Amino acid sequence: MEVLIIITILLYMLSAAGYFAYLFFQEDYLHRAGYLLVLAGFICQTLSIVYSGITSGGFPVRNLHETLSIAGWTVAGFFLVFQSRYRLKVLGIYAAPLIALIMFAVAQVPNTPSQEQSIFKNFWLISHVVTVFIGNAAFALACGIGILYLLQERAIKTKNPGFFFRRLPSLDMLDGTGYTCIIVGFTLLTFGLISGFIYAKTLWGRFWSWDPKEVWSGITWLFYAALLHVRLNVGWRGRRAAIMAIIGFAILLFTFLGVNFLLTGHHKPFTTF
């Protein structure tokens, strides 16, 4: 198990190095190497997650160690699918280091098993976690695309565009792909919250209890709903949309980690539910 995690981290780190080399040298073989290394890391991590699920007898989100691993896994998986569809090659300079960082955090956190096991076999819990995490992965990539948009916009506005202008895609492509990520993330987050409400009803006897995790999940949903509203009805595109995508991901990170460290509630510590 630990060996698989170490191998996964090494593969993601090598992928990050490959993508940064591609950024500087613009050779297609470097991009392909980076992509294949993410794929290899994803496969290796999948084996690790399957092993954890089999040995625990339930869905492996029992603690922060396993939850972070699922987070990194979904980001890697969503990135692989997104990259195969949109060919946004330079996005790897954001995604690969992010995945490697998440997995490095996984290695630092002890894998302490939970006392309760039966709740990790609940269909609504699994549905809730899977949809929320894939949605979060989409938001994570939207944040990265937003950062790339701001870098390219700044390069275009300077009299000497220089390094990033020649290496980043057009503003229209960045804006469009970022919007796609937001749409996918918001849709999955919505389904995730609905399944979470149903799970809460079966476990605690009520759909909503004003738990800090629930409140901040609601705030996150409202923020992205507002982002889509102003984009569709007010015309907020480009720079404003990019900044909001970055802010939204910061709110999401607080919901995922900050609430557990700073606030108390009836959700299990360091998990998504």
Tell me: do 172 and 89 sit in the same domain.
no
Within a domain: 117: no
User: How many domains does the structure of the chain reveal?
Assistant: 2
* 35 pLDDT above the threshold of 90: yes
Tell me: do 91 and 128 sit in the same domain.
no
Residue with more model confidence, 203 or 17: 17
Mean pLDDT of 7-21: 96
Within a domain: 231: yes
Tell me: do 184 and 71 sit in the same domain.
no
Tell me: do 75 and 101 sit in the same domain.
yes
Structural domain span for residue 213: 122-273
Tell me: do 135 and 222 sit in the same domain.
yes
Counting Cβ atoms within 10 Å, is residue 153 exposed (0-12), middle (13-18) or buried (19+)?
middle
Tell me: do 228 and 98 sit in the same domain.
no
Tell me: do 155 and 270 sit in the same domain.
yes
Tell me: do 132 and 83 sit in the same domain.
no
Write 47-51 long-range contacts (CB < 8 A, 24+). Answer: 47/4, 48/1, 48/4, 48/5, 48/8, 49/73, 51/1, 51/4
Which residue among 65, 88, 111 closes a domain? 111
pLDDT at 269: 43
Within a domain: 48: yes
Q: Of 9-18, 46-55, 194-203, which gets the smallest average pLDDT?
A: 194-203
Mean confidence (pLDDT) of the chain: 88
Amino acid letter at 231?
R
pLDDT at 57: 76
Tell me: do 84 and 137 sit in the same domain.
no
pLDDT at 79: 97
Which residue among 111, 145, 172 closes a domain? 111
Q: Of 96-105, 145-154, 189-198, 260-269, which gets the smallest average pLDDT?
A: 260-269
Mean pLDDT of 48-73: 88
Within a domain: 267: yes
Structure tokens at 268: 């299990």
Write 214-222 long-range contacts (CB < 8 A, 24+). Answer: 214/265, 214/267, 216/251, 216/254, 216/255, 216/259, 217/193, 217/255, 218/193, 219/251, 219/255, 220/189, 220/248, 220/251, 220/252, 220/255, 221/186, 221/189, 221/190, 221/193
Say which residue the tokens 């007010």 belong to. 234
Strand runs labelled E in the chain: none
The answer to whether 91 and 168 have CB atoms below 8 angstroms apart is: no
Q: What is the pLDDT of residues 214-253, one digit of tens each?
A: 888 999 999 999 999 999 888 889 999 999 999 999 999 9
Tell me: do 137 and 101 sit in the same domain.
no
Structure tokens at 176: 């469009």
Tell me: do 65 and 167 sit in the same domain.
no
Counting Cβ atoms within 10 Å, is residue 139 exposed (0-12), middle (13-18) or buried (19+)?
buried
* 163 pLDDT above the threshold of 50: yes
Tell me: do 98 and 157 sit in the same domain.
no
> Model's pTM, two decimal places?
0.91
35 vs 259: CA distance, rounded Å: 34
pLDDT at 1: 64
